[in-house]
Amino acid sequence: MTESTPTAPGRYPSDWDFDVLLRDGTAARLRPIRPEDAPGLADLVSRMSRQSIYHRFFRVKKELEPAELERFTVLDYRDRMAFVIETDGRLAGVGRYERDDPGGDAAEVAFSVADEYQGKGVATRILEYLTAYARLHGISAFEAFVLADNHAMIRVFRGAGFTMSRQLDDGVFLIEFPTQESDQTRAASEEHEKRAAAASMTPLLYPTSVAVIGASRDAGSIGGRLLANLLRGDFTGPVYAVNPRATVVRSMPAYASVLDVPNRVDLAIIVVPARYVMDAVSQCAEKGVKGVVVISSGFSETGPDGRAREEELLQLVRAHGMRMIGPNCMGVVNTDPAVRLDAQFGPVVARRGNVAMSSQSGALGIAILDHATRMNIGLSSFVSVGNKADVSGNDLLLYWEDDPATDVILLYLESFGNPRRFARIARRIGKKKPIVAVKSGRSAAGARAAGSHTGSLASLDVAVDALFRQAGVVRTDTLAELFDVTAVLANQPLPAGRRVAIVSNAGGPAILAVDTLEAHRLQVVEFSAALQDELRSHLSIDASVRNPVDMIAAAGPDDYRTCLDIVLESDEVDAVLAIFIPTSAQGIDEIAGAIAETGRRHHGSKTFLTVYMDSAGAPGEVFEDIPVYLFPEQAAMALARAVEHAEWVAKPTGHQVAFADADPRRAGKLVAAALARSRGESVWLEPDMVEEILGCFGIAVPRSGTVMSEDDAVALAATFPGPAVVKVLSPTALHKSDVGGVALDVVGEDALRHAYRTVLAAVPDPTGALVQEFIPGGHEVLIGITQDPNFGRLVVFGMGGVYVELIRDVAFRIHPLTDLDAEEMLGDVRSAKLLEGYRGGDPGDVKALIETLLRVSAMVEALPELVEMDLNPVKVRLPGEGVCVVDARMRVEPVSATGAPEPTLRTKRGISAPAVET
């Protein structure tokens, strides 16, 4: 065991202060240890059993000596580091590392967890953060000495996904593992994240008892309506009414405070005016309530004061390990017969079904519930998240991921707190259950002043599209579309392909459907002769049988049944659309019945949708689980979305590629040095530095150097095998060639001297020149990074050169890119076809280009300070010749808590821990 001497305390890394979830779903605080923790640490050790102490210290001891306490709590936060997890005002556990020798890249780790917190993932959570911290501080390997019978600790290391080597030595294992992230450690931490988040939702969605705080006697008030809904819904556990001004509410005894309730309360719904909410929640904490739903408004939605109140509320909830929905929400619904929880104040009773839904807007939530119910869309659960102070869309996604009652997830979003985390989670879940979202703000795109080509190309909506697309989220433009698409996804199998059959009793609506389908590249295929013959044998001679099948107005229930049977059984199509326009009042119900019954009989074989063009709407009880639309375009659009989603599901996700030759540490040091020179101000890096950083990631640049005189320019160019390029350096010239500041293909000393003088004369403030090797030929493309205020950094690719803003043929992606993302980016840019050697043009080294995109993504991952970059142009040379970045600009900005694992919970702790709230 390394037992080092006390260190001078380092600067406390206060930005590494997070709220985390333990395995059982309780929230706790994870933060670096500090000297004042000495009494807490002593208390922690006093709560450890003899065996736990022996496992940790390899000897029996009762308590820590003052010197030990000091050594464990006074750290330099570099060579010696420790995190604690604190809950209910006490330390639950501590994990530390000590570097083997100064400047070395290995460290020893050890954990102490209070006995009552063992098995709750305390060590696992600390290990996750400790590893990230160590990695950022140049430690590449951890080692731990573990007694052979310390199974719990061995499980922690193994569960964290670390590949380890062990050596048995006197009953002691030496466990060694790299601090580098791997697919295994990532998968392990995602699994922990999912389990903990799902567990923390249990008291909110499966409470065994509910208290309504603010249960009003006024049946028309929000509290009164909510209580009435709970009772009407027949909640399976006891409901307690809390109302200090009444002894009876709706024939139930009312309690003055939740503390007076004689039994245990799992969930409290809070419907009191904002100024009483803190007290109500405090009492819930005291009562041991696990979850609260705060319906009350008057928080962050009202302005800075409200924001402060909400923050206080969140801290209170966190301090007691509770979870909170809201504030400013309309409540929760869980239709599972095991609970029948209808804790919302709207008038609608949700139908039981397989769609889970979360809404950010409260009022809209009521409308959504209503509409879903009218569309025959049944719900598994519904959560109105309101201000999302604590429980976020991401928490719910993690819960619904493994919820057996949920097949489709609907989201109404107004904002994203942590888009990257959303993308990561959604991408995984979307492969199993479709996520359909309507995100308001399509038109919010605004031109922003930017210092790069890349920046001026981006807009908010581009980012949302990129995010949804990468994550496989089905994005709809309108709420109406949200339900149209959901009706198919919830009730029908995903289409196996793009081929569609249409069976109609009128030509017009069929043609409208065809137009919309084809606009989305679906195929209304012409049927084979055999299939046409078969259809014709059952229809009148006026009918058309090629597809669309127009059975003409006289078609009756039998015609529908027969024709639909034929196309549903045929292997020439993947989806079938039945269209019916009532042409007379007679036989309508029979036809509707025939269509629905046929669809039901073939359920699962093909995607089946219907259009019922009657302004009175389709008879809901007839269609039930068969998607039915008023207009053909609606059905066609819904089907198109389903097809696109099916294709996304079938597509492999790809891999994040690691580059062994990259040197992110050196790049990080270069950036840190530049920021130190700029005194923490955002700064564009010098060309030499830019090239060096690109070099750290194996991105090719031409030979080049910065010169201050003509003679130096000549001397440098003389070392190149071929012609040179001379570019002016100036703090003001953004686009050098625009002002005549670039001289290309310069050969010979005289020409070089002339070029040097010319480019310097082109600007008022030259600071020197960049002399580069001239790279002839090749296609010019742009690769960039831009910072979106809501989404963080995006990677951009487009055909480059000086026309990029004009042509705007570009693709955006959220990092990190997988190999397939990179390939797709090329596919999305229409002019990238030129790289294939279009019409006799030279082809380009596409393989090297894709690799460069991935190297840029690795650079983005490694350098959180890199907020803006323009590689324009990158020259894509002939296949096999690679690519070369001939012009590059980078802007860096200080950030904190960089490289920390993404916090599971939205947190306002620390100085600038990333806000997380989606």
- Least separation in angstroms between residue 140's CB and ligand ADP is 37
Site mask for Mg ion (CB under 5 A), range 832-871, x = bound: ----------------------------------------
Give the nearer residue to ligand ADP in terms of CB position, either 225 or 727. 727
Tell me which of ligand ADP, Mg ion, none is bound by residue 790, counting a contact when its beta carbon lies within the kind-specific cut-off of 5 to 8 angstroms.
Answer: none
Give the nearer residue to ligand ADP in terms of CB position, either 138 or 702. 702
- Token pair of 381, please? 């659960």
Give the nearer residue to ligand ADP in terms of CB position, either 369 or 775. 775
Q: Decide: residue 520, CB within 10 A, 0-12 exposed, 13-18 middle, 19+ buried.
A: middle
Q: How much of the chain is in helix, strand and coil states, percent to nearest 5?
A: 40, 20, 40
Give the DSSP H or E segment for 97.
strand 90-99
Phi-psi region of 88 (alpha: psi -120 to 50; beta: other; left: phi over 0): left
Nearest one of 752, 670, 668 to 709, comparing CA atoms:
752
Interface with Mg ion (CB under 5 A), residue total: 2
- Contact between residue 161 and residue 187 where contact means Cβ atoms under 8 Å apart: yes
State the residue number with the nearest CB to Mg ion. 887
- Token pair of 85, please? 């997890």
- Least separation in angstroms between residue 873's CB and Mg ion is 6
Give the nearer residue to ligand ADP in terms of CB position, either 74 or 725. 725
Tell me which of ligand ADP, Mg ion, none is bound by residue 702, counting a contact when its beta carbon lies within the kind-specific cut-off of 5 to 8 angstroms.
Answer: ligand ADP
Tell me which of Mg ion, ligand ADP, none is bound by residue 801, counting a contact when its beta carbon lies within the kind-specific cut-off of 5 to 8 angstroms.
Answer: ligand ADP
- Least separation in angstroms between residue 869's CB and Mg ion is 12
Give the nearer residue to ligand ADP in terms of CB position, either 114 or 742. 742
- Least separation in angstroms between residue 774's CB and ligand ADP is 5
- Least separation in angstroms between residue 888's CB and Mg ion is 8
Give the nearer residue to ligand ADP in terms of CB position, either 232 or 735. 735
Give the nearer residue to Mg ion in terms of CB position, either 392 or 872. 872
Tell me which of Mg ion, ligand ADP, none is bound by residue 134, counting a contact when its beta carbon lies within the kind-specific cut-off of 5 to 8 angstroms.
Answer: none
Give the nearer residue to ligand ADP in terms of CB position, either 212 or 804. 804
C-alpha radius of gyration, the chain, whole number: 32
Give the nearer residue to ligand ADP in terms of CB position, either 540 or 719. 719
What is the SS3 assignment for 631? Answer: coil
List of residues contacting ligand ADP (CB under 6 A) = 702, 725, 727, 735-738, 742, 744, 772, 774-775, 780, 801, 873, 886-887
Tell me which of ligand ADP, Mg ion, none is bound by residue 564, counting a contact when its beta carbon lies within the kind-specific cut-off of 5 to 8 angstroms.
Answer: none
| DSSP structure string for 754-823 | HHHHHHHHTSSS--EEEEEE---S-EEEEEEEEEETTTEEEEEEEE-GGGHHHH--EEEEESSPPHHHHH
Q: Which amino acid is at 8?
A: A
- Least separation in angstroms between residue 772's CB and Mg ion is 12
- According to DSSP, residue 534 is labeled H
- Least separation in angstroms between residue 716's CB and ligand ADP is 13
Tell me which of ligand ADP, Mg ion, none is bound by residue 772, counting a contact when its beta carbon lies within the kind-specific cut-off of 5 to 8 angstroms.
Answer: ligand ADP
Q: Decide: residue 202, CB within 10 A, 0-12 exposed, 13-18 middle, 19+ buried.
A: middle
Give the nearer residue to Mg ion in terms of CB position, either 492 or 872. 872
18 strand-pairing partners: 30
Phi first, then psi, for residue 912 (nearest 5°) are -145, 45
Q: Which stretch binds Mg ion (CB under 5 A): 205-213, 332-340, 757-765, 885-893?
A: 885-893
Give the DSSP H or E segment for 514.
helix 507-519
Distance CA 789, CA 868 (A): 12
Distance CA 153, CA 155 (A): 5
**Of the candidate residues 887, 905, 907, 909, the single one contacting Mg ion (CB under 5 A):** 887
- Contact between residue 918 and residue 422 where contact means Cβ atoms under 8 Å apart: yes
Around 491, how many Cα atoms within 13 Å sit in the side-chain half-sphere?
27
The Cα-based distances of 359 to 365, 494, 641 in angstroms read 6, 25, 21
**N-terminal to C-terminal alpha carbon distance within the chain:** 43
Distance CA 481, CA 866 (A): 38
Give the nearer residue to Mg ion in terms of CB position, either 509 or 687. 687
Tell me which of Mg ion, ligand ADP, none is bound by residue 886, counting a contact when its beta carbon lies within the kind-specific cut-off of 5 to 8 angstroms.
Answer: ligand ADP
- Least separation in angstroms between residue 705's CB and ligand ADP is 12
Tell me which of ligand ADP, Mg ion, none is bound by residue 669, counting a contact when its beta carbon lies within the kind-specific cut-off of 5 to 8 angstroms.
Answer: none
Tell me which of Mg ion, ligand ADP, none is bound by residue 200, counting a contact when its beta carbon lies within the kind-specific cut-off of 5 to 8 angstroms.
Answer: none
SS (H, E, C) 181-247: CCHHHHHHHHHHHHHHHHHHHHHHHCCCCEEEECCCCCCCCHHHHHHHHHHHCCCCCCEEEECCCCC
- Least separation in angstroms between residue 886's CB and ligand ADP is 4
- Token pair of 850, please? 């894709």
- Least separation in angstroms between residue 873's CB and ligand ADP is 4
Q: Which residues of 174-188 are buried (b: 16+ CB within 10 A; e: fewer)?
A: ebbbbbebeeebeeb
- Least separation in angstroms between residue 736's CB and ligand ADP is 3
Tell me which of Mg ion, ligand ADP, none is bound by residue 25, counting a contact when its beta carbon lies within the kind-specific cut-off of 5 to 8 angstroms.
Answer: none
- Least separation in angstroms between residue 870's CB and ligand ADP is 8
- Least separation in angstroms between residue 732's CB and ligand ADP is 12
Q: Does 772 bind Mg ion (CB under 5 A)?
A: no
- Least separation in angstroms between residue 345's CB and Mg ion is 58
- Least separation in angstroms between residue 845's CB and Mg ion is 20
Give the nearer residue to Mg ion in terms of CB position, either 889 or 909. 889
Evaluate the CA torsion angle 429, 431, 434, 438 in order and state its sign.
positive
The Cα-based distances of 215 to 274, 362, 384 in angstroms read 15, 19, 19
Tell me which of ligand ADP, Mg ion, none is bound by residue 740, counting a contact when its beta carbon lies within the kind-specific cut-off of 5 to 8 angstroms.
Answer: none
- According to DSSP, residue 586 is labeled T
Give the nearer residue to Mg ion in terms of CB position, either 15 or 887. 887
Give the nearer residue to ligand ADP in terms of CB position, either 405 or 700. 700
Q: Which long-range contacts (C-beta less than 8 Å, at least 24 apart) are formed by 757-765?
A: 757/710, 759/726, 759/727, 759/728, 760/728, 762/728, 762/733, 763/728, 763/730, 763/732, 763/733, 763/739, 764/730, 764/732, 765/730, 765/731, 765/732
Tell me which of Mg ion, ligand ADP, none is bound by residue 744, counting a contact when its beta carbon lies within the kind-specific cut-off of 5 to 8 angstroms.
Answer: ligand ADP
Q: Decide: residue 68, CB within 10 A, 0-12 exposed, 13-18 middle, 19+ buried.
A: middle
Tell me which of Mg ion, ligand ADP, none is bound by residue 359, counting a contact when its beta carbon lies within the kind-specific cut-off of 5 to 8 angstroms.
Answer: none
Tell me which of ligand ADP, Mg ion, none is bound by residue 192, counting a contact when its beta carbon lies within the kind-specific cut-off of 5 to 8 angstroms.
Answer: none
- Least separation in angstroms between residue 387's CB and ligand ADP is 45
- According to DSSP, residue 751 is labeled H
Give the nearer residue to ligand ADP in terms of CB position, either 58 or 803. 803
Give the nearer residue to ligand ADP in terms of CB position, either 120 or 727. 727
- Least separation in angstroms between residue 452's CB and ligand ADP is 10
Tell me which of ligand ADP, Mg ion, none is bound by residue 481, counting a contact when its beta carbon lies within the kind-specific cut-off of 5 to 8 angstroms.
Answer: none
Site mask for Mg ion (CB under 5 A), range 864-883, x = bound: --------x-----------
Give the nearer residue to ligand ADP in terms of CB position, either 139 or 769. 769
SS (H, E, C) 650-708: HCCCCCCCCCCCCCHHHHHHHHHHHHHHCCCCCEECCHHHHHHHHHHCCCCCCCEEEEC
Residues engaged in binding Mg ion (CB under 5 A): 872, 887
